[in-house]
């Protein structure tokens, strides 16, 4: 039997062989002409993937948390007011980051599995003047997806900068940064971007760059300061050598391959494929009689699914049995319900067969845990949604 498991967690995901080959290729100089060329192309490709032709892309070594840190460090000055729209664990993290830079933070908490209604956000913006607000497009702890469109509009109406944490959404969920008026969209490499962990990717729109230029105080984080990075990104894009901190050369070669694959698929097709994959998983979980953390499928993510364990089923036992059946899933993350639910990641290069393999392994695990259900119900439901994909 092949010694192989399918990794279906919400990041890191399984990566394409061509991406891994680029990562493992001999390292080039960071000022080699061929590297300068592909770095420049990565920046240009990011604008196409983010759908943000006027944005300034940044490719910096680090994780998604650094990608959250970068706009906070560059846009917050002590005493600035920031509004955090929190739909889970990563919203709370954003509040902590903003506070470190001296922001006065107000958090609007969504109910568990729900969203904050745009009317509540508008009421808050009407009554208080904020410099910026953050949203988590998909909070990976709850699988709740927030619609960025009304929030982008509110940001423009009330002149508040909008920062979107797209770590679990960019290149998976539909996202049109420029058209939707979002000032900063950030992500990391290890999810739908399809490159092993190690890259913090940020796209800053013109209003965000102007706000950074208008600062009265220095940026307190030396490594994150756009003053250090902007000339580097501009140099690579102009195909000129430059240096601030050694770029993660192999990761950038790999990013070049992955962004190329994403654009070859096409953003519209990619959004539609992720949507269908999310539908297939949600249909399967529903058909197995299991509840999910998002309270409404209208705000459930396409990039991951978060089912509750059925009553009487032990979480650790179920995940172990699913793993024995060949598929690795993730446990819970949100502290309040951590032991009550689990997560299935399905972004990037997920094939229809991976969906069936995952649902099949889940059924095997559920049966091994003594859960009563109609065997094949999940597979049939997934297959029905899947059909257009085959
Ligand atoms: N934001 C979201 C929505 C995430 O899912 C994650 C990681 N799971 C992060 C931020 C932080 O990213 P990292 O773990 O790469 O620091």
Q: Are residues 285 and 248 in the same domain?
A: no
Rounded distance from Cα 172 to ligand 1 centre (Å): 15
Identify the band that residue 388 occupies on the pLDDT scale cut at 50, 70 and 90.
low
What is the rounded average pLDDT of the residues 252-270?
98
Q: Are residues 133 and 276 in the same domain?
A: no
Mutate which of 65, 85, 190 for ligand 1 pocket (most atoms within 8 A of beta carbon): 65
Q: Are residues 244 and 298 in the same domain?
A: no
Q: Is residue 308 part of a domain?
A: yes
Q: Is residue 249 part of a domain?
A: yes
Identify the band that residue 386 occupies on the pLDDT scale cut at 50, 70 and 90.
confident
What is the rounded average pLDDT of the residues 239-255?
98
CA distance 172 to 129: 33
Q: Looking at 250, 265, 280, which one is the last position of a domain?
A: 265
Q: Are residues 84 and 227 in the same domain?
A: yes
Residue 129 has pLDDT above 70, yes or no: yes
Q: Are residues 254 and 271 in the same domain?
A: no
Does the Cβ of 140 fall within 6 Å of ligand 1?
yes
Q: Which atom of ligand 1 is nearest to the CA of 140?
A: 5
Candidates 348, 388, 335, 340; CA nearest to 90 is: 335
Q: Is residue 1 part of a domain?
A: no
Position 372 scores a pLDDT of 97
How crowded is residue 99: how many other Cβ atoms within 10 Å of its Cβ?
15
Position 51 scores a pLDDT of 98
Q: Is residue 79 part of a domain?
A: yes
Backbone angles phi, psi at 305, to 5 degrees: -125, 140
What is the rounded average pLDDT of the residues 312-323?
97
In contact, 144 and 173? CB cutoff 8 Å: no
Q: Are residues 186 and 126 in the same domain?
A: yes
In contact, 229 and 244? CB cutoff 8 Å: yes
CA atoms within 13 A on the CB side of 100: 16
Residue 68 has pLDDT above 60, yes or no: yes
Mean pLDDT check: name the lowest of 117-121, 170-174, 350-354: 350-354
Does the Cβ of 163 fall within 6 Å of ligand 1?
no
Taking the alpha carbons at both ends of the chain, their separation in whole angstroms is 26
pTM of the model: 0.97
Q: Is residue 146 part of a domain?
A: yes
Position 286 scores a pLDDT of 97
Residue 157 tokens read as 């109406």
Position 3 scores a pLDDT of 72
What is the rounded average pLDDT of the residues 285-304?
98
Average pLDDT of the chain is: 97
CATH number for the domain harbouring residue 314: 3.90.1150.10
Identify the band that residue 103 occupies on the pLDDT scale cut at 50, 70 and 90.
very high
Position 390 scores a pLDDT of 41
| pLDDT (tens digit per residue) in 330-371 | 999 999 999 999 999 999 999 999 999 999 999 999 999 999
CATH number for the domain harbouring residue 141: 3.40.640.10
Q: Are residues 187 and 279 in the same domain?
A: no
Query: Residue-wise over 19-53: b if at least 16 C-beta within 10 A, else e?
Result: beebbeeeebebeeeebbebbbbbbebbbebbbbe
Residue 23 has pLDDT above 90, yes or no: yes
Does the Cβ of 136 fall within 6 Å of ligand 1?
yes
Q: Are residues 110 and 152 in the same domain?
A: yes
Q: Which atom of ligand 1 is nearest to the CA of 190?
A: 15
Residue whose CA is at the smallest distance from ligand 1 atom 2: 167
Rounded distance from Cα 163 to ligand 1 centre (Å): 15
> What range defines the domain where residue 364 resides?
6-11+267-386
Q: Are residues 38 and 133 in the same domain?
A: yes
CA distance 230 to 325: 48
Q: Looking at 243, 265, 287, which one is the last position of a domain?
A: 265
* String of DSSP letters for 166-186: -TTTTTTS---TTTTT-SEEE
Residue 71 tokens read as 């706009």
Mutate which of 62, 167, 346 for ligand 1 pocket (most atoms within 8 A of beta carbon): 167
Does the Cβ of 65 fall within 6 Å of ligand 1?
yes
Q: Are residues 222 and 271 in the same domain?
A: no
What is the rounded average pLDDT of the residues 361-383?
97
Q: Are residues 258 and 272 in the same domain?
A: no
Mutate which of 148, 188, 199, 248 for ligand 1 pocket (most atoms within 8 A of beta carbon): 188
Q: Are residues 162 and 226 in the same domain?
A: yes
Q: Looking at 199, 234, 265, which one is the last position of a domain?
A: 265
Q: Is residue 232 part of a domain?
A: yes
Number of domains observed in the structure of the chain: 2
Q: Which atom of ligand 1 is nearest to the CA of 138?
A: 3
């Amino acid at each position: 039997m092949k010694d192989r498991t399918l990794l279906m967690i919400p990041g890191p995901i399984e990566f394409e062989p061509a991406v891994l080959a680029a990562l493992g290729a001999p390292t080039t100089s960071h000022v080699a002409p061929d590297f300068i060329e592909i770095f420049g192309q990565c920046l240009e490709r990011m604008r196409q993937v983010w759908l943000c032709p006027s944005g300034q892309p940044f490719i910096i070594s680090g994780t998604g948390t650094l990608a959250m840190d970068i706009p906070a460090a560059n846009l917050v000055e002590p005493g600035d007011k920031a509004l955090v729209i929190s739909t889970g664990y990563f919203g709370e993290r954003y509040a902590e980051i903003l506070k470190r830079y001296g922001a006065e933070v107000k958090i609007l908490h969504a109910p568990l599995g729900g969203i904050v209604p745009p009317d509540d956000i508008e009421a808050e913006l009407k009554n208080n003047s904020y410099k910026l607000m953050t949203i988590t497009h998909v909070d990976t702890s709850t699988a709740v997806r927030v619609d960025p469109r009304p929030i982008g509009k509110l940001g423009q109406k009330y002149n508040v900068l909008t920062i979107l944490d797209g770590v679990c959404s960019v290149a998976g969920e539909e996202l049109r940064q420029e058209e939707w008026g979002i000032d900063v969209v950030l992500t990391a490499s290890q999810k739908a971007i399809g490159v092993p962990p190690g890259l913090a990717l940020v796209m800053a729109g013109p209003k965000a760059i102007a706000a950074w230029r208008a600062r009265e105080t220095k940026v307190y984080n030396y490594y994150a300061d756009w003053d250090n990075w902007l000339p580097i990104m501009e140099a690579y894009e102009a195909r000129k050598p430059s240096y601030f901190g050694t770029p993660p050369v192999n990761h950038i070669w790999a990013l070049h391959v992955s962004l190329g694959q994403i654009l070859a698929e096409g953003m519209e097709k990619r959004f539609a494929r992720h949507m269908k994959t999310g539908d297939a998983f949600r249909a399967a979980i529903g058909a197995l009689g299991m509840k999910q953390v998002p309270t409404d499928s209208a705000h459930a993510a396409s990039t991951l699914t978060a089912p509750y364990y059925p009553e009487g089923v032990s979480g650790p036992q179920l995940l172990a049995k699913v793993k024995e059946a060949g598929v690795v899933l993730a446990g819970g993350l949100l502290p309040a319900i951590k032991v009550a639910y689990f997560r299935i990641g399905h972004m990037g290069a997920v094939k229809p067969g991976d969906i069936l393999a995952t649902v099949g392994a889940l059924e095997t695990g559920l049966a091994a845990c003594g859960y009563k259900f109609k065997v094949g119900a999940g597979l049939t439901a997934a297959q029905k949604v899947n059909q257009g994909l085959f």
